[in-house]
Amino acid sequence: MTRYVFAFLSCLALLFPRSGQAQTIDTLVDVGGYRLHFHIINGKGVPILFEAGGGDDARVWQPLLEPLAAVTGATLITYDRAGFGKSELSKEPADAQHGILSGMQGLEVGLKKLGYGNELMLVAHSYGGLYATLYAARHPKAVQAVVLLDAMLPCFATNEFLAGMMQDMQADIEQNKTGHRGRYYQSLNYPATVQVVRHAPFPATIPVVDLVADNFFIPKPAEAARWKACHQEFTAAQPNRELITAYGCGHYIFGDNPALVVSAITKAYGATRGQAKNPVLLKRSLSYSVNATNEIKKRETDYRHSESDLNSWGYSLLRQGEKQKALEVFKLNTVLYPRSGNAFDSLAEAYLNAGNKDLARMNYQKSLELNPKNTNAAEVLKKL
């Protein structure tokens, strides 16, 4: 699936070459005793700032930047939060001093030093939704529009949810205390982060395009319903907020349907200052939509009933709690692709999820036999 997405985006980028060679800036900016990493493609109009999900850094946006720059011509700003990617950690001694407020202050300083911040459009994925909400609340006049990509909103993060999440993450928190300080601070301070954002209501004046994944990232139907209800409540609160269900997509919507995300961002960008009657943007957007629709159909034809397609379907069923149906799909995949170690690895995972350790062990062994480099299968077999 990853190869499919990269090939798709690369093809579309070639269809819309940028006029001239846009300047790219990749730099570390001192934001007060530590440095944040920024990657910027210079353009015109209102700059677009990207907020990655928890655990991700600026690299997650890389496949989208070329087609977005070609279609919008906008300045695109991605960055790594403190402790992630190439960014450093602040030297503050207390764990609580590494929460969202310090992260936000560092971002604001970095943007100001780079000459941005007077006007921005925000694009946020997952955990990045909390950062986008806080930034919009702190800069309601500067933020011109926001595009949310299956983003975390405070209405979903109830006290009950946070208590369960923190209990589930205790082992990871302890491990990351020495292994990955950025993740450690992010996880440890999650409840405090939500508390801060709860007291920073999203400004009613800022238009929002809210894309919500069709397939929820936690295999719990009740939580999936609550996630969608939260987003429905958020968008229904103001007439300038639009809710779009990204059909067939998982949590990383921009990976599953990049054309939808590029089009949504372009639509929101088209309503910002100076772009409403921009004939060049309109022409590029329409051309992109035509070519993207055609390219998607071509790629889908190649992808349909492939190993990756069946694998994705199986995991989608698992997320929906349909364990038996998922098992049947994974079994079919091993029949159609008997030389694929990955197909047997997925079937083994499904058996393990269903509580059948014997069949899980057998299929992990088969996966390892087909692909001796499958470290995941080797690690699971040690535990079984």
CATH of the domain at 320: 1.25.40.10
Which pair of structure tokens corresponds to residue 275? 């772009």
pLDDT digit string, tens, across residues 355-376: 999 999 999 999 999 999 999 8
CA dist 113 and 306 (Å) reads 48
Confidence check: pLDDT of 288 > 80 = no
Write down which residue in 277, 301, 325 finishes a domain. Answer: 301
Domain that holds residue 340: 307-383
pLDDT for the residue numbered 231: 98
Percentage of residues of the chain with pLDDT beyond 70: 91
Write down which residue in 251, 286, 301 finishes a domain. Answer: 301
What value does the mean pLDDT take over residues 327-338?
A: 95
CA dist 371 and 384 (Å) reads 19
What value does the mean pLDDT take over residues 70-76?
A: 94
Higher pLDDT, 291 or 259: 259
What value does the mean pLDDT take over residues 123-133?
A: 99
Domain shared by 293 and 316, yes or no: no
Domain shared by 202 and 93, yes or no: yes
Confidence check: pLDDT of 14 > 80 = no
pLDDT for the residue numbered 291: 76
Domain shared by 33 and 71, yes or no: yes
Domain shared by 179 and 207, yes or no: yes
Confidence check: pLDDT of 278 > 50 = yes
Question: In angstroms, what is the C-alpha Rg of the chain?
Answer: 22
Write down which residue in 301, 335, 361 finishes a domain. Answer: 301
Q: Where does the pLDDT of residue 219 fall: very low under 50, low under 70, confident under 90, or very high at 90 and above?
A: confident
What value does the mean pLDDT take over residues 123-128?
A: 98
User: Minimal CA–CA distance to 219: which of 174, 244, 251?
Assistant: 251
Confidence check: pLDDT of 283 > 60 = yes
Tell me the CB-side half-sphere exposure of residue 363, using CA atoms within 13 A. 24
CA dist 58 and 294 (Å) reads 29
Annotate 4-19 with b (16+ C-beta within 10 A) or e (fewer): bbeebbeebbeebeee
Tell me the CB-side half-sphere exposure of residue 354, using CA atoms within 13 A. 21
What value does the mean pLDDT take over residues 189-216?
A: 97
Query: Amino acid identity of 331?
Result: K
Domain shared by 321 and 294, yes or no: no
Confidence check: pLDDT of 1 > 60 = no
Domain shared by 323 and 296, yes or no: no
Domain shared by 328 and 295, yes or no: no
Domain shared by 336 and 217, yes or no: no
Domain shared by 186 and 40, yes or no: yes
208 Ramachandran zone, left/alpha/beta (phi>0; psi -120 to 50): beta
Domain shared by 283 and 379, yes or no: no
What value does the mean pLDDT take over residues 136-156?
A: 98
User: Minimal CA–CA distance to 151: which of 269, 246, 84?
Assistant: 246
Confidence check: pLDDT of 275 > 80 = no
Confidence check: pLDDT of 15 > 60 = no
pLDDT digit string, tens, across residues 343-354: 999 999 999 999
Q: Where does the pLDDT of residue 21 fall: very low under 50, low under 70, confident under 90, or very high at 90 and above?
A: low
Least confident residue range of 2-16, 182-196, 268-282, 360-374: 2-16
Higher pLDDT, 295 or 206: 206
pLDDT digit string, tens, across residues 150-194: 999 999 999 999 999 999 999 999 999 999 999 999 999 999 999
- CATH number reported for the structural domain that contains residue 6 in this entry: 3.40.50.1820
Q: Is 158 helix (H, G, I), strand (E, B) or coil?
A: coil
Domain shared by 290 and 160, yes or no: yes
pLDDT for the residue numbered 244: 96
Confidence check: pLDDT of 30 > 90 = yes
pLDDT for the residue numbered 92: 92
Helix ranges restricted to H, 115-257:
128-138, 159-168, 170-179, 181-188, 190-198, 221-236, 253-256
Which pair of structure tokens corresponds to residue 302? 């190649």
Percentage of residues of the chain with pLDDT beyond 90: 74
pLDDT for the residue numbered 13: 52
Higher pLDDT, 186 or 379: 186
Domain shared by 190 and 328, yes or no: no
Q: Count of domains in the chain?
A: 2
Please provide the average confidence, as pLDDT, over all residues in the chain: 90
pLDDT for the residue numbered 205: 98
| DSSP-derived secondary structure letter, 16 | S
